[in-house]
Structure 1
Amino acid sequence: MTNTFPDDFLWGVAVAGHQNEGGNADSDIWFLENVEPSLFMERSGDACRAYDLWPDDLDRVAGLGLNAFRFSVEWARIEPARGEVSQEALDHYEQVVDGCLERGLAPIVTFSHFAAPHWFAASASWLAADAPQLFADQCDRVMARIGDRIAAGVTLNEPNLEQLLQDKLPPHVEQIKLDMLAAAARAAGSESYYAANVIPASAQVEFRDAFTVVHRTAKAAIKARRADLSVGVSIAISDEVALPGGEDRRDERRARVYDHWLEVARDDDFIGVQNYERTYHGPDGEVIPEGERNGMGTVIEPGSLAGAVHYAHEKSGVPVFVTEHGLQSPDDAQRAAFIPAALDLLADEIASGTPVLGYCHWTLMDNFEWIFGYGPKLGLFEVDREAMVRTAKPSAGAYAEYVRAQASVRS
């Protein structure tokens, strides 16, 4: 192996609170899972019980030879009712941070990974005039407790996801979404109800602009506690590739889905890249070539990560942090082959001059994948959701072996 990563490169996995902690009952997503009709195929319920089982999960991360762990702090747990702050929840996340450090893992904190408090969603959500200050207050209380020990901060997770999915989901999904949000508003006794990853098509630009203010205000609050901390926003980004005649379509997609946030990131310490696929554009629209498919129905392209990283840095001008990357598939052999192939090409991209701070694989274990429920498999560990037993897949060994080989090359 000749391609090597920087000595201070962060090798990690990423998880999210609502998706694996379980029992996030004061959140907007939980509320939406339980209204009728619901776009969510099933309820999160106990998820993977990671809120209780986190010490063993951190042992698994360290056991893979990794040195970073990305996780979210759940606002709905910390402020379950407006103005009511749970010291128990803050204690919990402080224990997770200290648990990371004890195991040699750099804690990377996501301040909002989609889920927010129910009371917040029922009060105009991220469109409310006081939303930036409310979220800044949440960031401040988290920083006051754990900010001195974390390695990096992500303000918002994929604020552009709905714009990316708008081209992917079938049209009838939009109507179900609207019906669900209307039902939620009625059930909550409010004029509207939104969540960060359930946004009507007609409101996406308004939300983008609101999220921009929220991100900047949150970053200021985080930096006020610790000016030296690296802070950024993470976006969902496909590797957009133009076939002959498809250049205009590719450029339009980039401009509509990514470029706003890549421009915003010019003032940040890094841009978080979250990549799962490559999209090919022909003169008449998207083209799906022949090849082995993943669970999303797109062709498996190990080079998609390097391509997305290249564009993100080229447009933003700041270092890249790969905060998510993975493969949805029930066939773990695909994942085990995909990880080293993608990382080799990422190493080539770094060697060409693109600064990349770290890589967090999505995800540690199979978990709740939002509207799709527990069907999609992206974890390095499978989970028996009755016994809550985690079992390593071959892909966990493939990732661990790759990281070990990198350490060997450097030594």
Structure 2
Amino acid sequence: MSRVTFPAGFVWGAATAAFQIEGSTTVDGRSDSIWDAFCRVDGAVRNGDTGDPGADHYNLMADDVALMKSMGLQAYRFSVAWPRVRPDGGAVNPLGLSFYDRLVDTLLDKGITPWLTLYHWDLPQKLEDMGGWANRDTAYRFAEYTNTVTECLADRVVHWTTLNEPWCSAFLGYAGGIHAPGRTDPEAATAAVHHLMLAHGLGMRAIRENVPRAVAGVTLNLFPVAPVDPADESDVDAARAIDGLQNRVFLDPVFDGSYPADVLPGLAELVQPGDMELISAPVDFLGVNYYRDYVVSGHGEPRLPSEWVGAEHVTFPPRDLPLTDSGWEVNSDGLTTLLVDLADRGVPLYVTENGAAYPGIEDDDRVTFLDGHIRAIGAAIDRGVDVRGYFCWSLLDNFEWAEGYAKRFGLVHVDFATQQRTLKRSAHWYARVIADNGFGE
């Protein structure tokens, strides 16, 4: 393979999410999140797994940061658990907040830059009982929570992300019922889209007020979408619908100040004066989570109503591509396409999640996956795209949402019975990429 060298200052990191790794879900004042409640629903999560013990990061944090240092990670993207910091969405919990205070200090002591995500899907269950993201008031509760975290960590944390993948929160959680809170209500999902984006805007305002030197943005899971047959009107319509629901309904309000008119018509009725000005306030970067691309058709067996609200006619014909352990098609070229398509949004891009589920510690498939996708980023940079960093998903094997502990995304193997950590082959490989700032011959 040819040599690929990344620009000076390119950021190499790894990412996690609080509910997936922390465990300790009932200690130090933490209240239930929607995921704690969802895990108690029979059949909602594979094998009846829960977020406790997770990878016990709450107790093993210092050891995990030492592992990051041993791998040469320059940055660590993590999320704060809202139910720890403001249990039930209410008063501030100093014990919960102190964990993130210690985490940030430990990272900085090891020379690792903290990248903080405020919301990675763990809404306090009490707020869900009041309507959750279908309730406009939840966005204002998020602003209160953001104020709490920023006031505590403004002196040490520069890089802030409001939301992670609002598509999953809105559509998997409120339409498809696949993720917490497990609802199957398209109208609630539409409302959740707007209220999540409003939370982003309110969160950005709080960050700007409390962290003068903040580098702040939002992270979206984005997928390049193409029709099976570009000359077939039904396929083109299908691609437009999926691109609208997956990408444009979140990109357009942030960068253009409006929702696309061709998807979720009910969104327009939810917008109140001043909302779009908040949502479209300038961001300093866009976080891009990429796992696969989509090629879609308007023909074939109709889909049952699910997370694709208004696009139930779309089909996803399989292609002759390798599959991850999750059954996802692998196409690293799609990442180049996506980054090139995003270049005209006018802000720096960071690949804030990219990875795959594969079994084993000698995980050659993961090495191949990461090699192809990191080279795809290099190809985008060669085409003039301003990509400034890469965060591998994930640092640790973890609770993989509805799949429980069955799928392993980590660079580090976790024995969930003993909590022993073992660097996988991919971790050693990634450490060399970081040290070389790219690939040798």
Q: TM-score range by the shorter chain?
A: 0.7 to 0.9
Contact 1:162 1:198 in 2 (8 A): no
Q: Give % identity.
A: 27
Structure 2: gaps spanning 5 or more residues: 256-281, 300-314
TM-score normalised according to structure 2 size = 0.81
Counting only pairs closer than 5 Å after superposition, residues 84-163 of structure 1 correspond to structure 2 as 84-161=91-168
* Alignment-mate amino acid for residue 289 of structure 1: R
CA distance in 2, matches of 1:5, 1:237: 23
TM-score normalised according to structure 1 size = 0.87
- Out of 34, 37, 40, the residue aligned to residue 34 of structure 1 is 40
CA distance in 1, matches of 2:169, 2:132: 16
- Provide closer, same or farther for how the CA distance between residues 63 and 298 of structure 1 changes in structure 2, counting only shifts above 3 A: same
Once the two structures are TM-superposed, the CA of residue 323 in structure 1 deviates from its matched residue by: 1.0
CA distance in 1, matches of 2:366, 2:43: 34
* Alignment-mate amino acid for residue 213 of structure 1: L
CA distance in 2, matches of 1:293, 1:53: 33
Contact 1:272 1:320 in 2 (8 A): yes
CA distance in 1, matches of 2:18, 2:225: 30
CA distance in 2, matches of 1:51, 1:280: 40
Counterpart in the other structure of 1:253: 242
Contact 1:262 1:271 in 2 (8 A): no
Counterpart in the other structure of 1:72: 79
Counterpart in the other structure of 1:291: 321
CA distance in 1, matches of 2:120, 2:421: 23
CA distance in 2, matches of 1:198, 1:351: 44
Counterpart in the other structure of 1:12: 13
Contact 2:84 2:93 in 1 (8 A): yes
Once the two structures are TM-superposed, the CA of residue 162 in structure 1 deviates from its matched residue by: 5.5
* Alignment-mate amino acid for residue 40 of structure 2: N
* Alignment-mate amino acid for residue 37 of structure 2: F
Contact 1:271 1:312 in 2 (8 A): no
Q: Which digits, 9 at most, give the CA deviation of each residue in 1:111-155, with x for residues without a partner?
A: 011002222221222233432221111111111111221131111
Once the two structures are TM-superposed, the CA of residue 37 in structure 1 deviates from its matched residue by: 6.0
Q: Secondary structure at the match of 1:48?
A: coil
Counterpart in the other structure of 1:183: none
Instruction: Indicate yes or no: 2:412 matched with 1:381.
Output: yes
* Alignment-mate amino acid for residue 292 of structure 1: P
Contact 2:321 2:331 in 1 (8 A): no
Contact 2:69 2:110 in 1 (8 A): yes
Once the two structures are TM-superposed, the CA of residue 395 in structure 1 deviates from its matched residue by: 0.8
Q: Secondary structure at the match of 1:19?
A: helix
Q: Runs of 4+ in structure 1 displaced over 4 angstroms?
A: 162-166
CA distance in 1, matches of 2:147, 2:183: 26
Q: What CA RMSD, in Å, does the superposition of the two structures yield over aligned residues?
A: 2.4
Instruction: Indicate yes or no: 2:357 matched with 1:328.
Output: yes
- Provide closer, same or farther for how the CA distance between residues 120 and 307 of structure 1 changes in structure 2, counting only shifts above 3 A: same
CA distance in 2, matches of 1:203, 1:310: 33
* Alignment-mate amino acid for residue 344 of structure 1: R
- Out of 385, 393, 407, the residue aligned to residue 354 of structure 1 is 385
CA distance in 1, matches of 2:169, 2:185: 8
Q: Secondary structure at the match of 2:166?
A: coil
- Provide closer, same or farther for how the CA distance between residues 243 and 407 of structure 1 changes in structure 2, counting only shifts above 3 A: closer
Contact 1:340 1:398 in 2 (8 A): no
Contact 2:4 2:438 in 1 (8 A): no
Q: Which digits, 9 at most, give the CA deviation of each residue in 1:28-73, with x for residues without a partner?
A: 2112212446456422221110011011111111211120000011
Instruction: Indicate yes or no: 2:240 matched with 1:239.
Output: no
Contact 1:76 1:115 in 2 (8 A): yes
- Provide closer, same or farther for how the CA distance between residues 344 and 280 of structure 1 changes in structure 2, counting only shifts above 3 A: same
Contact 1:323 1:359 in 2 (8 A): yes
The number of equivalent residue pairs is: 385
Q: Which digits, 9 at most, give the CA deviation of each residue in 1:374-401, with x for residues without a partner?
A: 1111111111111100111111112111
Structure 1: gaps spanning 5 or more residues: 167-172, 181-193
